[in-house]
Structure formats: C-alpha cells, structure tokens
Structure 1
Amino acid sequence: MKHPLHAPRLRLAARQRFGWRTLRPHQLTAMRAVMRRRDALVVLPTGAGKSAVYQIPATLLRGPTVVISPLLALQQDQISALNDRGHPDLRAVRVSSAETPNQQAAALEDIRQGRARFLFITPEQLSSPDRLAEVRALRPALVAVDEAHCISAWGHDFRPDYLALGHLIRGLGRPPVVALTATASPPVRDDILDRLGLDDPEIIISGLDRPNLFLEVAHCPTEEYRWRRLVALLESEQRPGIIYAPTRRAAEELAGRLDAAGFPAEFYHGGMPAGARETLHERFLDDQVPIMVATSAFGMGIDKPNIRWVAHVALPDSPDSYLQEIGRAGRDGEPARALLLWRAEDIGLQRFFTGGLPDAKELTELAALLATGPTTRTALREQTGLSARKLGQLLALLEQVGACTRRGTKLSVGRYAPAPADAARAAVAEAERQQAVQRSRTDMMRAFAETRACRGQTLLAYFGEHMSTVCEHCDSCHAGSSSAETIADGPFPVHSTVRHAEWGAGMVLGYEEDRMTVLFDDVGYKTLSVPVVSEQGLLAVEAG
C-alpha cells in the first residue's frame, strides 16, 4: 500500500523546521519507510544527510524518538545542531555518564512533558534495567541507531553493549527502528539486520563514490621514504588534515616528529583521559589543531566540512575502516585528498591486532554458569572476573551458537542448548570463522593498495557496488593504467549466490577486468580469475 501524502508532509517539515528546500531521493525513500512504521537500514555516504532521515519524520510522529549513539562527542554535536535551530519540535536532551543524576532526571521529565522530542542515549545506559524501564515508559515512537556498524562483530568498535542492542530495543517495547551508517559491507549489513532483529526492513543503499575525493596510494620501501612522502603532502596541501597511525605509540611519536620538523600537530588515541580527548576533539573542530595524528579511535562524529586531506601511514585493517576514515575529508564538496602510504610489514601488524582465539576453558565455565539459571552480566563479571569487553565478546559467541539467550537484561540458556563443553567447541569454531573473514578483509585492503586498476571500482566492488565506468579521481586513472572497459556481466550475475567445493557458499560482489570478487560465508573475501573459474568450473550456482 502506498502513502503518497507522506512525501509532501516530509518536504514541508524539512522546509519549515530545517530550512531545507529539497530532499534527496534516497533520504525521502528512507523517511517514507519510517512514516509507514517500517524498520529501515540506511547506508549513505558521509555528508549525504543520514541524520535527517530520522530527524524530519520524528517531528511528525506521536511520541519521542530515542537516538542511540556510541560517542558522547557525536551526541553533543547532534544535540547542539538541533537545539540551535530554536524550534520546540527539535529540542533534544541527553542521558549519559556526562550528566549528573539530577540532570538525567530532568532530561527524562522534559521528554515526559513534551518539552523535548529527542532523547540521546548510549547503549551502556540502556543496559541498566531501571533506565530501560524509564525509557520504555516514555513510549518512544522511533529508535534511531546511529553508527550502526558498531553493532557488528565486523564493525570498528565492537562494544559489548552494542552487541546486545537488539535485545535492549525489544525491552523498549520494540518501536520501529532505523539503523544508519556511512559504510557497511555485505557481512556488516547482514550482522546489523540480524543483531537488531529488523523486521522486513526497507534497505536503502546509496552510491558510496565520492567524486571530490582523490584516491592515491604509494608503496613505501622504507620508513624514511614513507616520511618523505608524508612531508611532501604536508608541504603541498592546505590544512586541516588527519593522519591515521596504526598504534598509540606510533601516533605519539609521529606527532612529536612532525612538531620538531615545523608541522604543528597533536596526537589522539583511546588511551588518553576522556577529558583530554574531548578537549582535542573540540579544538580540532574549532580549527585550532591543523594536523591531527590519531589512531582509529578518532573520527566518528567528526562533522567538520573543511578537512582537506586524510593520510594513512599504515595499511588499514579493512576497506570498511579505510572508507570510514577517508570519508571525513571534503565534506564541503570541495576537492580533497586521501593518501595511503603502506609497507608490506603493515600486514603483520594487522595480523597481530586480529588476536588469538578465545579460551575454550573460559567459554566452558561461562556456559556452565549460564546453565545454572537466569543471571545478569554484572553477576557473571563478579563470578568470572572477566572484563566487561571480554565477557561481552564471549557471550556474543555463545549466543551465536545457541548457548545463550537474552530476555531483557537476563541471560540464560534455551531448552535445547548444547552442553557447556560442546558450546565451547562450537564457539571456538565460530571465532575461527570470524578470524578467517577478518584476515580476508585485510587481504582485500592489500589488494586495493596493490592494484593498478581504477581504485574507485576496486573499492566499491568490495561493498557490492558496480561502477560502470572508471572513477577518474584516483592515481590509477590519472596515470592511465585503469581500463575504461569493465566487465558488466561475468559468468554469474552480481549478487548471485555460488558455491565452491572447498570454501562453500558465497555471494558474487563484482567484476574488475578479468577478476571477480566473491564473499564466502566461511572464509571471507576471495578474488578469483574469471578465465580460471570458467575453464575449471570452480563455482556453481547455489541451489535455492
């Protein structure tokens, strides 16, 4: 059933409350899904107006909108942007660790009395049974999950409370959910849909290509060469800019070396005190930090339009991370630059970060505790001595193999759950599968770095998008090494399901020259030769 009246109402609300004369087609499609009370997954590139997808419909819905967002700085930016408009329908409040108990109570009262429409909150707050009950009593009309890739085991944050978010939303009475992210590869999208329990969602994925962003990669035979290429960038480009370093120590040392060389720089990483990070974040937004050297902890929520370049001084762990991080440049639509300076040694560092497998004994003991009866994460932490992060990861694995179920904030095992030892073995096997996929993501990042073909096509193929012509905004295109001819149709349709005798089932993501990219469920991404696949019959269409 169509609802043609939604579009005029949405356009009117956008004009009256936000001053926007037009809405982009993908925004309007997502907003109409929200107005129909339908779940939605919205994947839009940086700067494409994701926040508007929930903000405009929220002013037309009966009841408040709960916005679940991972970072306080990101929340504060969005709250300020709403409140600065001075419209009563756009007032936003927050409940977080940054507010006193009295301030938290006042925020909830403002929502109850209709003095505010948006409640910003973190998953950690909702994990408290009392807080969950308070927010449920507000009868929210919509839940917006910002930076939704954080809910995925393949995301960039992997916070335990994000993994439980689907259960927490059900605890709110299961209002409609709109999940928003700037980049989500097929396994991340599947994970978001599964973990949030989205019901027959509208899936809106807009083109991720950023024509104003020039993609450039340089292989660096030595560290000194990498330094010289970085200096050349700093001498030729305007500021501000961001340099992503692989470790906290590397960020600190590089910032010091840049300062000594006459390039004013600051460093930022997750090991710094929260207050120091917040101050740096604000100074960067206020153009007081011309060069920020940071780990991947910096960037989510950096809504700064004039970042002229983003440089990586090591190979990122995946194209997912890379696209997120370079997306912070050129949000004003003006030309910007993304420079990746990599060495083969970077691969070993990413392998180290992947970590080892979980301890089977700890998994067995945890599964046994769950089998004793309903419990809570707080009680499990006290009994096991595990950190919140590690406990969350182990519980997620046990849940994936059917050895843990959640009802609100209570954890238990189902009637047909495997025995603790069997559950541990299955969980370790699942962890091995996840590590194989993660290693394949790093392999795809290296393939992107090494290719002489169009980088835009290569990057978008990873995300399951097909670019019919070369991008013309990468170093390969400018050097003339990328071909203007691409394979539109290979031996199997894009997005079809195929099966390999050894690797199992997979999805065809795209073709590039004489190669094809397939995402296999059990082993991750593989790049295969199209002639070899055809000649040897390596793949077959998956039945059903």
Structure 2
Amino acid sequence: MKLPPLHATRLRRAARHRFGWRKLRPDQLAAMRAVMKRRDTLVVLPTGAGKSAVYQVPATLLPGPTVVISPLLALQQDQIAALNDRDRPELRAVRISSAESPAQQAAALEDIRQGRARFLFTTPEQLSNPDRLTEVRALRPALVAVDEAHCISAWGHDFRPDYLALGHLIRGLGRPPVVALTATASPPVRDDIIARLGLHKPRVVVAGLDRANLFLEVANCATEDYRWRRLITLLGAEERPGIVYVPTRRAAEELSARLTTAGFAAEFYHGGMPAGAREELHERFLADQVPVMVATSAFGMGIDKPNIRWVVHMALPDAPDSYLQEIGRAGRDGEQARALLLWRAEDVGLRRYFTGGAPDPDELRDLAALLRSGPLSRTALRERTGLGARKLGQLVALLEQVGAATTLPNHRLDSPQYAPQPVDAATAALAEAERQQTVQRSRTDMMRAFAETRSCRGQTLLAYFGEQMPRPCGHCDNCHAGDGVPGDGGTTAAGRDPDDTPFPVHSSVRHPEWGSGLVLGYEADKMTVLFDEVGYKTLSVPVVSEQGLLVPAGD
C-alpha cells in the first residue's frame, strides 16, 4: 500500500507541535513512514542523531500504546523524563521494571489501560514473566520499539543473553510492528538483529554515520610512556569533560589514580563495581561532576550528554562497531570534538586473548542432553548446570544456531523434535563458535587496518559498515596531513573511477577458498569484502582483477 503524502505531513506536524522539532531529517522521515505503514523497521543512525524520534513521533499517531524495550534503567529514565517534561498527556510515559514497586507497576499498567499514558518502558526480564507478558499483551500495543538493538546480536559489542528471547516475547505480545534502533550495526549485526527479532521484510534505514564535527586522530605509540605523554598532552590542551577508554578493569583503576596524582581529577568505572556505585558515577558524570572518566566499555549506553569534548582510546578497540559507538558520545552538541586512538601492536594480542578460546564441548554436550529431558526455564538450567547467566546464554545461542535448542512460547528452553544427538550437537556448535571467532578476529584486523591506514579515516571506517562517502571526510588526521585529499572529480567514495571497480558496492561475490561474500567498499587500490565464513578481508583490486580471485555469486 502506497503511503499517502498526508502521512508525511501528519508526521512533520506532530514533530513540530508535540515535540518542537521544526524539521525532520530525510532518514528519520523515511523510517517514520515505514512505521506508519505498520512495517517492521531497522534503524541505524549515529549517536545523537534522533533515533528516539523515529518511534516517538509515529507513536502519537498510532491507535494504541507503544512498548519500549531498553537494556538500561538509566537510559530509560532519561527518555521517560524527556517525554514527561513536555507535560502533554499524549506523550506521557510510564515504566514497569525492577526499580518500581508492585503497586507502582500496577499503576503504570492502569495508566496505559485508561489512556493516561502512551509509552510503556520495560526490560526483557519483565516480559519474560508469563503473567506480565499477558498483562502487556492485553494493552494491545500498536508498536514495539527495541532500543540498543545490537544487544541482541552475538556480533554486537554489548551482547546480552537476556535479549535473545525478545523475538519470542514480541510474538507473545501479539506480534505488533517492530522498530529496532541502534547507533552502530555492521552488516552481520544487522542480519542478526533481523533474524533474532523475526523482523518480516523490514525497511532498513542506515544513514548519516559520518560525524563531521568529530576529528579522528590515531597515534601508533612505540612505548607505554609515549602513550601516557600523548594522553597528558591532550588533557592539557582540551576542555573537560572527556572519556578515556581502557581495555581492562585494572587499567581503569590504575590510570585514574595516575591521572589524579598528575593533577587531572579522574574517576574510574567498570563492570566489576557494585551497581549502586556505577549508578552514582553515571549521575555525577552527567551532572558535570566528573571531569575525566576512565572506563572500560561497560561505560557507555545511557550517556546522553551533549558536552563531551573528547574520547580517548588507550588501546586498540575490539572492532569498528564498538569504536564508532564509543567515539559517538563526543560532540553531541554539534560543537567540535576529538576522538584520539593511542595504540600499540601489542594491543592486538590482548584482543586475541579477550576473544577467548573455544567453548567446552562437554558443557555443550551436557546442555544439549539436558534439554532433551523436557522444557526447562533458564533459572532451572542454571541450577542444574552450574553455569552463569551469560555463559549459559552464549551456549544456548550456539545450540539454537545448530538446531539443538529452541525457545518455547512460555519462554522455557527445549530440544526441537529433530534435534541432533547431544554429541553431534556439541560438535556442530563448536564449529559454529570457531567460525564466529574467526569473524571476530577479522573485525579486530579491520580495526587495526583503520589505525594503520594513510588514507581518509572516515572513508575507511564507513566502508566497514557498507557505507560510501563521496569524498574524503576532511576531519581526520590523514586528510589534514594531505594523505586523504580527494583526487579529480568523477570518482567513487574511495577515490576510484567507477569503471575501475571490478564489482559494485553491496554486490555478492564468491572466493574459491573463502566462499560467499559481500563487497563493502573501496579505498585507494584495496577493496573490503565481508565473507560469511572467514569475516572481513581487505584485497588488492589489481590482484583481484588480474587473477580473477572473485566472481559474481550467481556464476
């Protein structure tokens, strides 16, 4: 059904009158129009680009409440406060979570039921309760918005096992249309989001990943002392606040102490801290009471702070996915900001270590056998196996991918009718885990390639996400040094003549050894291809052309 122009007009009017937004960006409007068509939608927009508007504006026009599923209570609270501060009944938001008492949860549901509120914020854990799911389904939601949707993907940089059941939970809500939102999702993450949420022929909107106000800078540090001195130099020259990302909890604690001793007041943040302490630090940072936050990747989601002036990485990130998400927290006010990556070759070995070894085949076999004994809840499985929630989630995800586990409508886990025998299931799951680790290593290789490139960093980074930049970005160290300066006109995003690209961007190809792949982009005389089995590879265009290394997938 073609959407009448009237719908676009209504969306713009609602954005202006109810939210005060005088203009909608084309990508926002395209996603909103898909939502108004009751079409599943996946939206990838950079941090601070108005992803929430994509579901909030249509929600005011749809005939029913909108359920918003988000992983962090602090992130939810910020969005709830922003909606309720407008003091409009049609924008009122309520929440059911572990932070509310049973009486408050009942009142929130009643407010939705009586039309006194339109947005219901919640978490996957709440919907995992069958009684709660029934209550929310009875509200007849018109839309489900899944925020930070990359959390559902094992490829995502903030994977959360409790998100894995979301596709089943949404079906339990009566399967209303779904809009999934994230600030960074490479092609495999997008595919995973679509598959795990069960999105039906979704409209995928990926736009605006380049941040022109963010200066990208990389330094290869020969020694740890040089890395420290580069950090001190930045702190002496730049305004506060800022974030320093480090790879380990110990590094966060040690660096924050060293900075404070050097006269730069700093705090540390990591996932091993008590929840109350993390929440307090989060609030203090938002209130400009922490000038320098030294943190692991655990510090990030929910940081809706406009005046972060810089983000420094004190080691090579694990992948461009997490790097783009983390630097995107700087300069959200539109003012100039810096993203400085200080890396050493030794960082790659650390990332290899974090990737971890293969899962225990005995644990996979025993879990597959246990599932054959009958449906069990995740709590029961944890008690029977002694596995932690995260590890159990990862093993279940592997078994699901090889047909040895399935999630039932009542959220219990079971073994499918034609599941492989436990030993065979463990073997297949182990092979799948090894494939995933190969792809993960390739993502770290792409991060290193970004750090080492002498071409435009903006083009290199966006090529990983399958996006093309018409000309060098002009806001990276290489562009300022002259290495990323564009050539003559009539070139592709990577400065290549269109007639000199052996395969179109986003075309499917096949390699005799690596199998099927997707062409993501070109940079100078190189091309980036994402292969299903071995991950990201950077190939020489002349070699590909001369030796016929790739052929169209259909040949």
Q: What band does the TM-score fall into relative to the shorter chain?
A: over 0.9
1:526 aligns with 2:540: no
Give the Å deviation of 1:131: 1.8
Query: Which structure 2 residues correspond to residues 222-241 of structure 1 after superposition, within 5 A?
Result: 222-241=223-242
1:298 corresponds to: 299
Distance 1:358 1:130 in 2: 35
Q: Percent identity?
A: 79
| Displacement of 1:404 | 1.1
What CA deviation, in whole Å up to 9, does each residue of 1:303-357 have, x standing for no partner? 1111111000000000000000000011111111000000111111111111111
Q: Which residue of 1 aligns with 2:418?
A: 416
Question: Equivalent of 1:498, from 491, 506, 509?
Answer: 509
Partner residue in 2 for 1:516: 527
- Give the one of 459, 463, 476 matched to 2:465: 463
Task: Determine the C-alpha separation between the residues in 2 that align with 1:289 and 1:123.
Answer: 31
| CA distance, structure 2, for counterparts of residue 63 and residue 488 of structure 1 | 51
What are the within-5 Å matches in structure 2 for residues 412-451 of structure 1?
Answer: 412-451=414-453
Deviation, structure 1 residue 482: 2.1
1:126–1:132 contact (8 Å) kept in structure 2: yes
Q: Residue type of the partner of 1:475?
A: D
The letter of the residue matching 2:226 is Y
Give the Å deviation of 1:79. 0.6
Q: Secondary structure at the match of 2:126?
A: helix
Superposed CA offset, 1:344-386 (max 9, x none): 1111111111111111111111111211222222221222111
The 1:133/1:423 distance shift into structure 2, 3 A limit, reads: same
Q: Is the 8 A contact 1:207 1:465 kept in 2?
A: no
Pair 1:355 & 2:362 matched? no
Residue correspondence of structure 1 range 251-266 to structure 2 within 5 A: 251-266=252-267
- Give the AA of the match of 2:540: S
Measured in 1, the distance between the counterparts of 2:211 and 2:116 equals 39
1:487 matched to 2:496? The reply is yes
Shift of 1:488: 5.0
Q: Could you say which residue in structure 2 is the equivalent of 1:115?
A: 116
**One-letter amino acid matched to 2:2:** K
Give the TM-score normalised by the residue count of structure 1.
0.98
Amino acid at match of 2:458: G
In the alignment, the residues of structure 2 paired with residue 488 and residue 164 of structure 1 have an alpha-carbon distance, to the nearest angstrom, of 46
Q: Secondary structure at the match of 1:174?
A: coil
| Contact 1:488-1:511 within 8 A present in 2 as well | no
Secondary structure class of the residue paired with 1:215 = strand
Specify the alignment match of 2:139 in structure 1: 138
Structure 2 Cα separation of the partners of residues 483 and 261 of structure 1: 39
Post-superposition offset of 1:51: 0.2
User: How many angstroms apart in 1 are the aligned matches of 2:250 and 2:96?
Assistant: 34
Q: 1:410: Cα distance to partner?
A: 2.4
CA contact (8 A) 1:468 1:488 kept: no
Whichever residue aligns with residue 18 of structure 1, its letter is F
CA contact under 8 A between 1:73 and 1:301: conserved in structure 2?
Answer: yes
CA contact (8 A) 1:441 1:524 kept: yes
Structure 2 unaligned blocks of 5 or more:
488-494
Counterpart residue identity of residue 339, structure 2: A
- Aligned residue runs from structure 1 range 227-376, under 5 A: 227-376=228-377
Partner residue, 1:171? 172
Q: Distance in 2 between matches of 1:32 and 1:215?
A: 34
TM-score by length of 2: 0.96
Count of residues paired in the alignment: 544
Deviation of the 1:130 alpha carbon: 2.0
2:491 match? none
**SS at 1:238's partner residue?**
coil
Aligned-partner Cα distance in 2 for 1:207–1:63: 31
AA at the equivalent of 1:464: G
What per-residue deviation string (whole Å, max 9, x for no partner) do you get for residues 263-294 of structure 1?
Answer: 01111111111111111111111111111111
Counterpart AA for 2:496: I
Aligned residue for 1:211?
A: 212
Alpha-carbon distance, 1:191 to partner:
0.5
Partner of 1:537: 548
Give matches, 1:141-152, under 5 Å.
Answer: 141-152=142-153
Q: Greater shift after overlay, 99-108 or 163-172?
A: 99-108
User: Which residue identity does 2:516 align to in structure 1?
Assistant: A
Secondary structure of the residue that 1:469 maps to in structure 2? Answer: coil
1:29 positional shift: 1.0
**In structure 2, what is the equivalent of residue 453 of structure 1?**
455
**Structure-2 residue corresponding to 1:35:** 36
Counterpart secondary structure, 1:434: helix
Amino acid at match of 1:390: K
After superposition, the C-alpha distances for 1:226-266 in whole angstroms (9 at most, x for unaligned) are 00000000011111111101111101111111100110111
Q: Is the 8 A contact 1:147 1:182 kept in 2?
A: yes
What's the CA shift for 1:207?
Answer: 2.4
